[in-house]
Structure 1
Amino acid sequence: MPDDLIVRRETHVPAPPAAVFALLTDPEQILRWMGTEAQLDPQPGGLYLVNVTGARFARGAFREVVPVHRLSYSFGWDGSEAVPPGSSLVEIDLIEQPDGTLLKMTHTGLPNAEQCAGHAEGWGHYLGRLAVAAAGRDPGPDPFYGRTG
């Protein structure tokens, strides 16, 4: 897999790993920073379904769930030919630090540079909102609300 088709993000989150893990796996908590509705069953084979923008559903299945340390799930978009449901892989590691958690995210299996750029923008946006929510603040209305692409 070409290295330029991998999206990598590292974000410092001012909360312990358990709190960050809950923000990633609890259907009510994920909505504090991303999406308008969510169905999450964080166990291997369990459903990952989030209406990210109010107009676009991300769908996949959890592959690996190590509470408070690691998640991986297949990922794609309902109705997308470029990145259909389950066609890519998101891996997230949570590393405890004295002042919070280092979140390391890798997104692989995207088909081209255009999709990588779009997903890199999306991950940067949403991981920033996650860090705000983890700090106990309201990230405010999502400027990506209503996006279909």
Structure 2
Amino acid sequence: MSGTFQAMVHVAAPRATVYRALTDPAALRAWLAEFAEVSLPERRFEFWGRYTPQGERGRQQLLIAQPDKLLSFAWTLDGTRTNVMFQLQDAGPSATLLALSQDGIPPMEELMAPTGRRDGLHTLHTFWGLALANLAEWAEGRELTPRCDFSASRSNEIRIELTIPAPPSQVFDSLIDPARISRWFGWEAEVEPRVGGRITLGADGTISEFQPGRLLAYAEPGMTTRWELTEAGGKTRLTFLQQGFQGDELDNVAQHEAGWAAGLAELKRLHELGPRWRPLIGELAPQG
């Protein structure tokens, strides 16, 4: 049984800007895909390349395009045709409520415990989280978060580097304070902030290195996770590294990388917006 993936995003930009993000090929190449070609009069809409799950060309087909209101296209993944729809509504002065839906998605139980390949439909719950974060960043004129490599030639480790507009001490607090973690990560983590302490931030592990404002590293059986922070002109250069994936599970690495990158986009956004912050994505789950 399949379900429908749904997400609601508040974008601080007018509908015309958000619609351009969805339909302008240069914009799509900036926030969504390595390659994109669009001609609405010719009913052509396609994107492909290393930043796209099963990124061969020719998997999309334009269905409906209503300027500043709606965009819908078919997208074939795992041999299954799914239908994607974006709907745009005003959400106040120079703000847009963007609703995304995609049918044909595996139920949550299968997403959490896949039994077969997971480079297509099983990636979408993390792929869209990151893609929507980058769409909002593009439309709002903010620095984009690094995209995820879904190609078969990718590395079997996750490495993400980005700059956060806050000093390292503040960013480090967002990595060890459970209340702050819940804001950008989506749920609270347990953290015992010391070497040998327990941590459940994306893993159930033990802290192996702990240098306030500089370094947090922890390990669980078969996996290590490392956060390095350096000061850069009053901002923080954050390097995230996760190792331990096997060479035959690159689809799993990509799925996790997209999830981590989406979380880091929200961490960056939390510090960018300060008291104006609210979760970017109102709902992100498959619905049966």
The structural deviation recorded for 1:143 is 6.1
Structure 1, gaps ≥5 residues long: 53-57, 76-85
Q: Which moved more, 1:26-35 or 1:64-73?
A: 26-35
Structure 2, gaps ≥5 residues long: 1-153
Instruction: Give 1 or 2: higher helix fraction.
Output: 2
Structure 2 residue 172 is matched with structure 1 residue 16:
no
Aligned to 2:188: 37
Give runs of aligned pairs for residues 107-126 of structure 1, distance below 5 A. Answer: 107-111=242-246, 112-126=249-263
Aligned to 1:90: 225
Give the CA RMSD over aligned residues.
2.2
Q: Tell me the TM-score normalized by structure 2.
A: 0.41
- Structure with bigger RCO (C-alpha 8 Å, 6+ apart): 1
User: Structure 1 CA distance, aligned partners of 2:165 and 2:190?
Assistant: 26
The structural deviation recorded for 1:144 is 7.3
Contact 1:132 1:139 in 2 (8 A): no
Q: Secondary structure at the match of 1:38?
A: coil
Contact 1:89 1:109 in 2 (8 A): yes
Distance 1:100 1:109, change over 3 A: same
The structural deviation recorded for 1:110 is 1.5
Give runs of aligned pairs for residues 134-149 of structure 1, distance below 5 A. Answer: 134-135=271-272, 136=274, 137-140=276-279, 142=281
The structural deviation recorded for 1:145 is 5.1
Q: Secondary structure at the match of 2:183?
A: coil
Q: Secondary structure at the match of 1:101?
A: strand
The structural deviation recorded for 1:103 is 0.2
Contact 1:88 1:109 in 2 (8 A): yes
Contact 1:33 1:139 in 2 (8 A): no
Q: Which moved more, 1:111-120 or 1:65-74?
A: 111-120
Identity of aligned residues (%): 30
Distance 1:139 1:124, change over 3 A: farther
Aligned to 1:79: none
Out of 58, 67, 70, the residue aligned to residue 212 of structure 2 is 67
Q: Secondary structure at the match of 1:32?
A: helix
Aligned to 2:236: 101
Aligned to 2:142: none
Runs of 4+ in 1 over 3 A off after TM superposition: 141-147
User: Structure 2 CA distance, aligned partners of 1:33 and 1:61?
Assistant: 21
